[in-house]
Chains A and B, each alone.
Chain A
Amino acid sequence: MDFSKTPAERPDGTEAEVFEAEPAPPPGAAGPRRLDPRVRSYWWVRGAIYTVVLGAAALMADMGWFVPRLVPGGWPEGVFGAVVVVVVLTLSVVGPLIAYERWRFALREEDLWIRRGILIRSVSVIPYRRLQFVDTEQGPIARIFGLAELVVHTAAPGTSGRVPGLDADEAEALRERLAHLEPSLDEPT
C-alpha cells in the first residue's frame, strides 16, 4: 500500500518508532513496557472469584439445588456444571498469561501507546495534547497486590485508554506526569 506520509514524520523531524515488534526491551529502557508481573496474580485471583461464582450458578442450575433443574433431562446430573467449571477455570488460568504477554504500553514523545487484546488485538495511540483528565484506580483486590490502574480520558466518549497492573506508586507518578504534560492548559480561560 502506498502512503503519502510514511514512515511517520514527526514535527521535530525524528522518525516515529513503531513498537509492534517483539521482544520487549528490559524494564526501565525506553520503548514498550510490560505490565507489572504481579498483574497475573491479580487477574488469577479475579478469575478464581469468577470461577467460584459462575461455577456455583452452573452447578445450582445443573443439580437443581434451590432452583428447578434448568439443564435438559438428557444430560446426566453434574456434567453441565462440571463443563462450565472446567471452561471458566481454564480461561481464567490461561487468559492472564496471554493477556500479560500481549499487553505493552509506552510513553512516547507525543502520545501514550497501548497494545492489548487477546481475541481482538488493538493498538491505541492517545496524543498527550488530547488528554482531558487522568485517573488512577485501585480496587480492593488490586490493593492487596499493591497494584493500581491508570485511566486516561479524552473528549472522545468513554475511556480512551487504561493501563492496568502498574505498581501503585508508579501509577501515581505516571498520572502526575501525564497530568502535567497536558498542553491544553495554555488555553485561555
Chain B
Amino acid sequence: MNPPDPAPLRGEPTRLHPAVLGVWALQGVFSIVVIVVLTGIVPAAGAAMLAVIVATMVLRYLRFRWRLEPDALIIDEGIFIRKRRVIRRERIQTVDLERGISHRVLGVVEVRIEAIGAGGTEGKLAAVDPATAETLRRILLGRERRPDAPRTDEATEDPRRADEAEPEPSPVAPAPQVEERVRTVVPPERLVVAGMTGGRVGVAAALVGFLFQTMPEDWWVEGLGFLAQTTPDPTSVVGIRILVVLAVFALLGGFFLSVVATVFTHWDFTLSETDETLGVRRGLFTEHRDTVPYRRIQAVQVEENLVRRLLGLGAVRVVVAGRAGGGGNEGTDLLLPIGKRNELYQIARDVVGLEGEGRPDLEQMPWRARSRRYVRALVAAGVVAALVGFVVVGRFDAWWWPEIAVVFGSVLLPGLALAEGAYRGLGWADLDDHLVVSEGVLNRRTTFVRTDRLQVLETSQNPFQRLGGLATLHLRVARPLMGSSPRALDLGADGAQRWREAVAGRVGRPVSRAPGDEASATPAHGVDEGLWLPGV
C-alpha cells in the first residue's frame, strides 16, 4: 500500500484518484454496450454519445475537489452548476468505505459520509486510495478534543501514554492509531441459516412447507408430468394444479436466490470495535466497511423473528441518525445478521454500556393489554366469518351456520395464539440510565435506549387504548426519517404518565458508564453530541 496521500488531509484541494475514471467507465458498462450496439446501427450517433459520456466523465473528474479542514470536509463539484458542500465534523454520523468490483480492479475505495440532517448520503468520494481513505475515516470520526474539558488539565498526556507502545501518530494523521479488536466473525454456514430464517423469506418457506404437507402425496409430480405435455389451462383442475406448482417453484427459486443474496452481501461479516467506534466489514463482491462511533448510536435493537426465536437465534441492529439506508434497509445498519441469543444481548448491552448479561428481565404490561389483544382476535375472526357468510355463501341461512362457525373457529384459534404471543412479546424495563422496550410476536424487537439519547417523550392513547385504560410511551430519538421510534406499547395509562415524567427528569443527565464516553470525563459533551446545531 502507498503511504497516505497527505495533500487533501492537509487542507489542499485535491482531485479524486484518477482511477475514478475507470470506476465510472466500468459502472457505466451498460450504457457503453448500448452505444456500441448503436454504433453498429448508426455509427455517427454512437460516436457522438460516446464522446459526450467521456467528456462528461472527464469534466466531472476535473471539477471535483475535496479537502479536509480542521472541522469540516469540503467538496467542490459540478460541471455547469458549481456546488460547494461543507460537511461539519460534528454532523458526521458514520463513514463507510465501499469496494465494488470496479474499485477492486483499480485498487481504490469509495468513501461515503453520512451526516445528520441529510436526506441521503451527504458526501461521496468515488475513488480514494485505501490508505488515505482509512486515515480520512479515522480523522472524521475521531473524538472532538475539547481544550476546556476538565480532564485535560492533567489527563491530556496520560491516556495517550497507554498508546505509546504503538507507532507515533504520523503528522498527517492527528487521530490516534487505535487498535481494532475483532469481536465476531460470522461463518458462511451461519449466513445460510440467516438467509433461510430471515423475515419474509422464512415465513414464505414455512407456508410452502405447510402447503406441501396438506396436499396429497404426489399430486405435484402428476402436475409436472402434465406440464411437460400441455400448456396449462387455468379453467381445468389440472391447469390449476400446474399453476400452483409453478407458483411454488417460483417461491422456492425466490427463496434460494434470497439465501444466496444474504450470503453474498454478508459474506465474511466481521464486527470489530475500538474504544470509540464499531466497525462492520462484509460483502463478497462489493466489500463494505462501515464505521459508526458509539456516541452516534441512538438505540440498539435485538430482532428475533418467530422462526429464529425457536432456534435461539436473532439479529442486532443499530439506529443511527442520518443513515441514508434507514431502518429497514437490509445490511446497512446490521451489527450482526445472525447470532445466538446470548451473543446478541451481550453485543446490545456492550454497545449501550449496560452491565449484566442475557435479555434483561422485562416487566409485563397490565392484564388489560392482553384483553385488548384477545378482543382484537375475536373481532377479526368475527369479521372474517361475516365476510365468508355474505360473500361466499351470499346469505345468512341456518343451513350454513355450522360452516361459518368452522371458519370463525379456524380464524379465532390462531388469532388467539397470536394475541397471547403479542402480549407476551410486550415488555419494558427502566434500568436508570437505560430503557428497554420490547414488542412483536412474528418479529420480536427488544430495543435498548440510553436516556441521554432521548429527544422527546410522548404518551399517546388511541380510542381503543382509552377504553382499556392503556397508553403508549414513545421514546423519540434522533433517527432517520424512515423507521419508527422505540416505544412501550400498552402500558397502563397512569404508569405511562408517571414513567414519562420520571424519564423526562433524566433526559439531560449524562450516563455514568458507557463505551466511547470515557466515563464521566465529558459530562455535557456526551449528552448533546450527535446534534446538529445550526448557527453555532
| A interface with B by C-beta (< 8 Å) | 1-11, 16, 18, 20, 110-111, 117, 119-127, 129-130, 132-133, 154-158, 160-161, 184-189
Contacts and interface: CB of A to CB of B under 8 A. Distances in A.
A187 B460 contact: no
A125 B500 contact: yes
Given A8-B502, A10-B505, A155 B461 contact: no
B462 interface: yes
A8 B462 CA distance: 25
B485 interface: yes
Contacts of A157: 478-481
A154 B507 CA distance: 13
Contact of A121 (B146, B460, B477, B498): B460
B467 interface: no
A81 B8 CA distance: 67
Nearest to B498: A6
Q: Would you list the 6 A-B pairs with minimal beta carbon distance, nearest first?
A: A8-B501, A1-B495, A155-B478, A122-B460, A5-B502, A156-B455
A122 B495 CA distance: 14
28 contacts: A1-B363, A3-B430, A5-B505, A6-B498, A7-B502, A8-B505, A9-B505, A11-B509, A20-B497, A119-B463, A122-B461, A123-B458, A123-B500, A125-B456, A125-B504, A126-B456, A127-B456, A129-B527, A130-B507, A132-B534, A154-B478, A155-B478, A156-B477, A156-B485, A160-B476, A187-B524, A187-B533, A189-B536
A117 B460 contact: yes
Contacts of A121: 460-461, 466
Nearest to B528: A184
B148 A188 contact: yes
A100 B498 CA distance: 25
Q: Which of A2, A20, A132, A157 has its CB near the most chain B CB atoms (within 10 A)?
A: A157
Interface magnitude class on chain B: 35 or more
Contacts of B476: 154, 156, 160
Interface string B507-525: 1110000000000000011
Contacts of A124: 456-458
A120 B455 contact: no
B418 interface: no
B530 interface: yes
B263 interface: no
A157 B327 CA distance: 13
A4 B501 contact: no
B20 interface: no
B458 A155 contact: no
Contact of A120 (B460, B497, B530, B532): B460
B495 A123 contact: no
A117 B474 CA distance: 15
B481 to A, nearest CB: 5
Nearest to B478: A155
Contacts of A7: 498, 501-502
A169 to B, nearest CB: 24
A77 to B, nearest CB: 29
A16 B506 CA distance: 12
B502 A3 contact: yes
Contact of A155 (B144, B148, B321, B508): B321
Contacts of A20: 497
A137 B430 CA distance: 38
Nearest to B88: A189
Q: Which of B494, B502, B525 has its CB near the most chain A CB atoms (within 10 A)?
A: B502
B500 A129 contact: no
B536 A187 contact: yes
Nearest to A8: B501
Interface string B101-139: 000000000000000100000000000000000000000
B243 interface: no
A125 B457 contact: yes
Nearest to A6: B498
B459 interface: yes
Nearest to B493: A20
Given A3-B498, A156-B455, A132 B461 contact: no
Nearest to A111: B504
A128 B363 CA distance: 30
B533 A184 contact: yes
A154 B502 contact: no
Contacts of B432: 4-5
A155 B363 contact: no
B146 A132 contact: no
